[in-house]
Structure 1
């Protein structure tokens, strides 16, 4: 079967574009600068399943997403995680954290209610991240 993004990820995010290995998504939660990377490898579920020839590229793309978040908003800490308990497809969360955010110092998952981007800020944030990630318009 070919690659496709899990429906829950599609429902919860905006697609920013593609890197060499990953689709790049923005979580629709304005409380945190939050990018999700989804390797474009069909049926991939866990980190240990990533083919060795893709591991360096994945790390570089995580670094690229982290740097874009830091340019977008100076954060105190970068959280990088792959849980997959609700969405079995391997996806990597890259989340900028502030010591003043409502979940600090705990994980963002299950804390409070997501605040979706409004129409204006959604457009601005998407364009900003596309610039910072050097992702061309499709």
Structure 2
């Protein structure tokens, strides 16, 4: 059995939050928007339809679980949920909390400006908050 390896760009640009049943939940290291990514732990998947029907169902369940918790945690006006994959082909799903007051509202977050990494303490606090919101004890 092959060991799953996270795409190097996802590993560089995100911080680990939690391991769910199918996906690894990661925080995008860009403080301009609260932004998480779900990465199914499957090798060589680039498209949703390449996941098995059971994995597709699990991804839908985990997307719902994370989106509900993330919206409640952030108080976002709107969640953007997308599977673009033009830069990183490894299949991953973005959940971005958007606010009418954010830097590029109502435009997309992709390709807008430069990422502004979190300060270490803020990143750790947000990772912990997200993990508790998604997987309460």
Class of the TM-score when normalised by the shorter of the 2 chains = over 0.9
TM-score normalised by the chain length of structure 1: 0.93
Q: Does 1:105 align with 2:103?
A: no
The match for 1:40 is 41
Measure, in 2, the Cα distance between the counterparts of 1:123 and 1:37.
18
Q: Secondary structure at the match of 1:37?
A: strand
The match for 1:23 is 24
Aligned 1:1-138 pairs, distance under 5 A: 1-134=2-135
Paired residues, number: 136
The 4+ residue runs of structure 1 with deviation greater than 2 A are none
Measure, in 1, the Cα distance between the counterparts of 2:120 and 2:62.
28
Q: Secondary structure at the match of 1:14?
A: strand
Measure, in 2, the Cα distance between the counterparts of 1:126 and 1:61.
17
Give the conservation status (yes or no) of the 8 Å contact 1:16–1:130.
yes
Contiguous gaps of at least 5 residues in structure 2: none
Measure, in 2, the Cα distance between the counterparts of 1:2 and 1:105.
40
TM-score normalised by the chain length of structure 2: 0.94
Measure, in 1, the Cα distance between the counterparts of 2:32 and 2:80.
14
Q: Secondary structure at the match of 2:42?
A: coil
Deviation of 1:71 after TM superposition, in Å, equals 2.1
Deviation of 1:96 after TM superposition, in Å, equals 0.8
